Structures are given as C-alpha cells and as structure tokens.
Amino acid sequence: MLGLMSKQLNLRIWNNEVIILTTKKLPALESLNDLLSYDPETGVFRWKKSTSNRVKVGDIAGTAQNQGYRVIKIDGSKYLAHRLAWKMHYGNDPKDYIDHINGIKNDNRIQNLRECTHAENLRNRGKNKNNKSGYKGVYLIGSKYKAQIGLIGKITYLGLYDTAEEAHKAYKKAAKYYHGYFYNGGRNEH
C-alpha cells in the first residue's frame, strides 16, 4: 500500500513527522493570481480571497512546518510556498527542485530561490545536526579529523588532519571546485 501511495504522493519525514505534499502540477497561474498575491522582494504571500472562515483577505498565507518550509493549502492540497513563488514569478512550474540559496527554508524571496537537481540541492545543505566536529564534511576519528565530500553518490576521502579547521579547509577547497555554483562554504558553522 505504501509503495502505491508513494507513487501518487510525495511523502517526506522531518523530525519524525510525516508530511504529505501532492506531486500533481501546481494550480494554474490564473487561479494562483486570483487567490494569492506574492511579493518577490519579501517572499510573503497574502490571500486575495477568503477561502474559509479562518482566512481573511490580506492575511499572510500558509503555515510554517516543523522542518522550516512554508506550506500553503489550496483546495485541500498542500503546496510548498517556494514552488508557488517560482510559478507566480516566472509563470511556469519548476522543472525539479527549488533551492534556498541562503539555506533559510522560509525565505521565499525570488532572489533567494533557484532551480536545481536533487544532487545540487544536497550540495547546498548545511552540516548535519548530529555533526560533532562543528564543520560540514569533517568527522572526528580517534584524535584526528577526517575530511570527506559526497560526489555523484559516492563519498570521496580528502585526508586526515590534526585539527577540525584544517580538515574543513580541505573540504571547502574540494566543495568549491566540485560544487561550483552550489558551493556552500560552511554556512551554519562556528
């Protein structure tokens, strides 16, 4: 059943919470423009029409989910606000993923959004929450720090270093070279 359901729905799990987002196309641009206003400078959506007793014209649209993304419910379906922002600004559905350049998941200003593949989206992630070294791509192994980078689905070893800072320097050099435009130089670190 879950296999069938996951083909029809986009199921994601964040903080042990299952979030269900439809994979169907976004609503038509005309419908979005009738229901919502989007300010590309602030990234804020506001309702143009009241869609329920709880929604008033002019209210900020959507709610923040535990994982940090803003979700807007339209006709019973939930849509990620950054995908709606893309459509309302450019007039077409995103081809694949939308990346938040600065890593702030609810910053839906158009200058902070870019189309990307899943792999490119992962390149722009910050360090993992369970990272004990304090640096992306750096792991404590005994008394040394190992630097590594993910490339095309494989982990590439970058060496062992005496300090976390040295290992991170090696990671940043490799990330800048391999990740290019999607290079994340260590946002959310020390």
Instruction: Report pLDDT digits (tens) over 169-185.
Output: 998 898 888 877 777 65
Could you tell me if 115 and 77 are in contact, meaning their C-beta atoms sit under 8 angstroms apart?
no
Per mean pLDDT, which range of 1-5, 62-66, 69-73, 80-84 is the poorest? 1-5
Decide if pLDDT at 87 tops 80: yes
Decide if pLDDT at 141 tops 60: yes
Task: List the domain boundaries for the chain.
Answer: 2-116, 128-182
Average confidence (pLDDT) over 85-110: 93
Rounded-to-integer distance, Cα 95 and Cα 97, Å:
7
The residue among 51, 53, 52 whose CA lies nearest residue 27 is 51
Average confidence (pLDDT) over 142-152: 90
Most confident of 82-96, 127-141, 167-181: 82-96
SS (H, E, C) the chain: CHHHHHHHEEEEEECCEEEEEECCCCCCHHHHHHHEEEECCCCEEEECCCCCCCCCCCCECCEECCCCCEEEEECCEEEEHHHHHHHHHHCCCCCCEEEECCCCCCCCCHHHEEEECHHHHHHCCCCCCCCCCCCCCEEEECCEEEEEEEECCEEEEEEEECCHHHHHHHHHHHHHHHHHHHCCCCCCCC
pLDDT reported for residue 10: 53
Per-residue pLDDT tens over the stretch 62-74:
999 878 899 999 9
CATH 1.20.58, applies to 2-116: no
Topology match between the domains 2-116 and 128-182: no
Residues 6+ apart with CB under 8 A from 139: 131, 132, 133, 145, 146, 148
Decide if pLDDT at 1 tops 90: no
Residue 186: which pLDDT band, with cuts at 50, 70 and 90? low
Residue 187: which pLDDT band, with cuts at 50, 70 and 90? low
Higher pLDDT, 33 or 23: 33
Average confidence (pLDDT) over 7-23: 47
Average confidence (pLDDT) over 11-28: 59
What percent of the chain has pLDDT above 90? Answer: 53
CATH 3.40.120.10, applies to 128-182: no
